[in-house]
Structure 1
Amino acid sequence: MKLFSLPASPFAARCRMMIYAKNLPVDIVEPPGGLGSETYEAINPLRKVPALDTGEGVIPESDTILEYLEDHYPEPSLRPEKALHRSKARLLARIADLYVMEPMFPLFMLMRSERPDKDAVAKQLDKIDWGLRTLDWYLDNKHGFAVGTHLSKADCALVPTLVYVTEMLPKFGKDKPLAFRDKLAAYWDGIQNDPHAARVISEIREGMQRMAAARAQQ
């Protein structure tokens, strides 16, 4: 089994975190020829990461991959035991996708401008802050995890998201992006001690540094 991944991708990082937590026999490789190559398009027509080659077919999209891995390798389970917690895990991942990561993508483009539009930046920051407030509202963190008593799919989604929040927003003047989000800030402080989370955090940061270095050479 093979996961096509890039270190800086927050969505591929979700899959890597589950693979590490379950200690799965999955090779992690970069897309052959790069994301836009014909070689990779022949593997995954979406030309995105992650994509999982199961040996029987290729599965794109991180949430679909996480579901497959959980079904195929049910132990140790990263699904919370209670139905309410399973629902909340899906909700937290959805909020992270739609209301934190999605409004963050325009900031990447604004970063490339010598004089970013201040109003455009402020608009996206407000959207992200609303998403963080909502995450803070629904977050459990009673046992150091997003929901329940052990690492789950929710943590796999939130950890990469919060790497981007804490690394990117200070570049736009939000020096303390988790200020006044007490549960979320406490969760972030604690989850970084988890070895699987720490590994993914390090990989993303190294990937971001590689991307920044590549842009500087252009």
Structure 2
Amino acid sequence: MLTIYNIPISIYTAKLRVVLRHKGLAWEELAPPGGYRSQAYRKIVPSGNIPTMLDGDVMLSDSEAIAEYLEEKHPEPSMMPMGLVPRAKARERGRFHDTRLEPALRAMYPLLKERDPEALNAGFSEVNRHLKALELLLTTDGLPTRNLLLCDAGFAVAFEWLAALERALGLELEWPSSVVAYRKRLSSYPAVADELEHYRPSIRAYLSPEG
């Protein structure tokens, strides 16, 4: 059985769990010894990253590295398209989540307590900019839409977060129609639906006044 070091709010662990669920893999989760970023945890995982996976003698950090490792070790059901260019395009889409949309989403977290209108509007404008870029990516990268891909997993979780932020902050994002359709398609996969059901309480707890 795989072991995953995790903290409940981690969006990247939620992303990884979509992959684990889709591939039908068993895993257990452990809290990092001493807490996230503690010296005790860094003695086990030098980078201090969450999630980190233990698979026998193999230890891997970074959700993308873990997902690609699992795809190669457990190739069915496949979560990468066939062909050199489609596989590169899938990685491009996945990196867009990890380096563009998710950081813009994460930048909103500190604003939740202050609720400064100017800062919140600026944060939402940045997210809107990335949603617009994603619209172009979705309509031009030519990736297949019949299967759940590795690059989809992060977006499924990020969209849930963004919708929750809209409700919590009383602001509306500009959701392009292709992004709305993409979110709906991803939610139709059992692995995504199950993970979002599992993960929503963590989002609600974080957004609650006592969070």
Query: Is TM more than 0.5 here?
Result: yes
Counterpart pick for 2:206 among 208, 211, 217: 211
Per-residue CA deviation, residues 20-43 of structure 1 (Å, 9 max, x unaligned), is: 111123323333343144432222
Which aligned segments of 4 or more residues in structure 1 are displaced greater than 4 angstroms?
Answer: none
| Number of positions where the alignment pairs a residue of Structure 1 with one of Structure 2 | 210
Instruction: Give, in whole Å, the separation in 2 of the partners of 1:194 and 1:2.
Output: 24
Aligned-partner residue type, residue 69 of structure 2:
Y
For structure 2, which runs of at least 5 residues remain unmatched after alignment? none
TM-score, length-normalised on structure 1?
0.85
For structure 1, which runs of at least 5 residues remain unmatched after alignment? none
Alignment of 1:50-199 (within 5 A): 50-113=51-114, 116-139=115-138, 147-175=144-172, 177-179=173-175, 181-199=176-194
- Give the secondary-structure state (helix, strand or coil) at the position aligned to 2:110: helix
Pairing 1:23–2:24 present? yes
- Give the secondary-structure state (helix, strand or coil) at the position aligned to 2:108: helix
Instruction: Give, in whole Å, the separation in 1 of the partners of 2:22 and 2:139.
Output: 20
Instruction: Give, in whole Å, the separation in 1 of the partners of 2:39 and 2:58.
Output: 18
Instruction: Give, in whole Å, the separation in 1 of the partners of 2:139 and 2:61.
Output: 29
TM-score, length-normalised on structure 2?
0.87
Identity %: 23
Aligned-partner residue type, residue 210 of structure 2:
A
Closer, same or farther in 2 for the Cα pair 1:204/1:62, shift >3 Å? same
Aligned-partner residue type, residue 58 of structure 1:
M
Aligned-partner residue type, residue 152 of structure 1:
L
Aligned-partner residue type, residue 202 of structure 1:
E
* Stretch deviating more after TM superposition (33-42 or 58-67): 33-42
- Give the secondary-structure state (helix, strand or coil) at the position aligned to 2:53: strand
Instruction: Give, in whole Å, the separation in 2 of the partners of 1:152 and 1:54.
Output: 22
Aligned-partner residue type, residue 120 of structure 2:
V
Aligned-partner residue type, residue 92 of structure 1:
R
